[in-house]
Structure 1
């Protein structure tokens, strides 16, 4: 793997983040919401006040059974089975003037589709967020008994902030494997005239979706993983300091390769973020229309709303977040 770490973000430092950045117990021993606790009623009212034009933009990619893995993640599966003639099947074609069509849809939770990562998605040394034990709380039959995307059933409704990183470099997209640094996050804030604060949903634009759809995927020769731009592990203290409620990107948050030879740190933003911070992640967000709209208006904050499925015991939910300006 390419070494991209500075001396203060070596393996020991990042592993130490599980302790130094931990939110375990911050909201109680039984807490299952993690950073969603930071979205207060006042925060929602603040977000609602950002609606000025009433423009609503979907931030989700299409889920297409005919093209289930356009980003070449290797794990996206979408199945659709149609049953045509539900009524006539039971009563006969002469029994009713109307008929219905039903279907079954199966989706691999983590893949090319826009999806929310719940807090049971990753573990470290056998423990998930807030100390819940994997062996005690997760089974193939019952799923995750203590942590689930259904815990976010009140919705993730807050102030959204877009950080446009390609604009800093005057490029349409970041190159695969580009590690985003704290300096770039700070520069994006300054350039755009916004400041990320407690309870915000931060969306980091990398251009990965646009580049992949146009040029295909580029793979790291070592592990064979898709090379993607994303946050470097050194950004984790920034995420904790700003106390954001959720982090989204048009990639998977983590730069790939991560720059760490230890496979345990293959995706440190995911691992430390989910397990230690209790930070909810939104992968493969569709940002192209939002980026164009924000650039045209020179406005990078908006009302953000996402309503995950109330699926019990699962680690992810396909979702259609919206930004309203």
Structure 2
């Protein structure tokens, strides 16, 4: 759906009887793609022009990266490799929480908290009834999350500008003003339907933290993290520009929220906008600095799990 076909931010909510800023019914009452409807064939075809060298960069953090200390009390990754005698053959089994490493938050993950409604008004009962797959993440696997990606390398900009570091493990905001300054510094042009990716420096700080520090941080409840600000200006910017948002932080937005609402409510439950979290952006940051280009082609296919809540992103950036 092109930019000219969507209502303006000031015309929201679409469903006037629904919650704050919702776009329920914009793509039909049974829609399960939300913002991914913006990724038209023409947009993806145009995005392929971003491929100039063919250099490929994975944005997937190892699935066991948090080892036995995952945040938000989530289950750890388990892998069992076993032989199948009498042949010299191995199989393995994996057991994991889909949000314990790099992930796309799907539409079943987060509801409007006061109204207890998910995207398009879906309820907990709709999700938890027998054999329900409504708004499951498996619907995203058919065409994937594929288009033009833009890295806003906040951490590199901050370092170059000589600005004080922000602790990624403490509640703090990356403001819209700062993100716009990053884009100007990079010389990157935003285009409607872009996949926004923000590097806050979280993964770099995590990798430089001792086990003792991580163990102490994992016990903080609720956890605290640096992320983008909660504001209507931030939401307007996302509505007017992007098809999905992501970052290297565990919550994308500042956590806990600094406002009475959370971006997760509007993005997931209101608009059907995928939220990517804990993407490993360190190699992408180096590549973009090397080429001086902060846009690229992105290909991501969430796992085809009907009725799933979230998924590893299986994501590659190509320049």
Q: For this structure pair, what is the TM-score category when the shorter chain's length is used for normalisation?
A: 0.7 to 0.9
Q: C-alpha separation between the residues in 2 aligned to 1:107 and 1:173? A: 33
Residues 21 and 237 in structure 1, CA contact (< 8 A), matched pair in contact too: no
Q: C-alpha separation between the residues in 1 aligned to 2:189 and 2:96? A: 36
2:194 paired with 1:200: yes
**SS across alignment from 1:120:** coil
Q: Pick the structure with greater CA Rg.
A: 1
CA RMSD of the aligned region, Å?
Answer: 2.4
Matches within 5 A, 1:82-231: 82-84=81-83, 86-88=84-86, 98-111=87-100, 113-124=101-112, 125-139=115-129, 142=131, 144-153=132-141, 154-170=143-159, 174-175=166-167, 176-215=170-209, 216-217=213-214, 219=217, 224-231=221-228
Q: C-alpha separation between the residues in 2 aligned to 1:210 and 1:310? A: 30
* Residue 307 (structure 1) shift: 1.0
1:277 to 271, 274, 277: 271
Cα 1:184–1:299 change in 2 (3 A) is same
**SS across alignment from 1:236:** helix
Question: Alignment length, in residue pairs?
Answer: 288
Q: Which residue in 2 is equivalent to 1:7?
A: none
What are the Cα deviations for residues 133-191 of structure 1, in whole angstroms up to 9, with x where unaligned? Answer: 2212324x63x521111111111110000011123322696323220111112111211
* Residue 324 (structure 1) shift: 0.3
Q: Which residue in 1 is equivalent to 2:10?
A: none
Q: C-alpha separation between the residues in 1 aligned to 2:289 and 2:195? A: 19
Residues 69 and 218 in structure 2, CA contact (< 8 A), matched pair in contact too: no
* Residue 231 (structure 1) shift: 0.9
Q: Which residue in 1 is equivalent to 2:256?
A: 257
What are the Cα deviations for residues 271-301 of structure 1, in whole angstroms up to 9, with x where unaligned? Answer: 2210011110111000001011111221100
* Residue 68 (structure 1) shift: 2.6
* Residue 225 (structure 1) shift: 2.9
Unaligned stretches of 5+ in structure 2?
1-15
TM-score, normalised by the number of residues in structure 1: 0.81
TM-score, normalised by the number of residues in structure 2: 0.83
Q: C-alpha separation between the residues in 1 aligned to 2:97 and 2:246? A: 19
Residues 70 and 218 in structure 2, CA contact (< 8 A), matched pair in contact too: no
Q: C-alpha separation between the residues in 2 aligned to 1:19 and 1:194? A: 34
1:314 to 296, 305, 308: 308
Q: Which residue in 2 is equivalent to 1:233?
A: 230
Where does structure 1 differ by over 6 angstroms across 4 or more consecutive aligned residues? none
**SS across alignment from 2:296:** strand
Q: C-alpha separation between the residues in 2 aligned to 1:192 and 1:20? A: 34
Residues 68 and 76 in structure 1, CA contact (< 8 A), matched pair in contact too: no
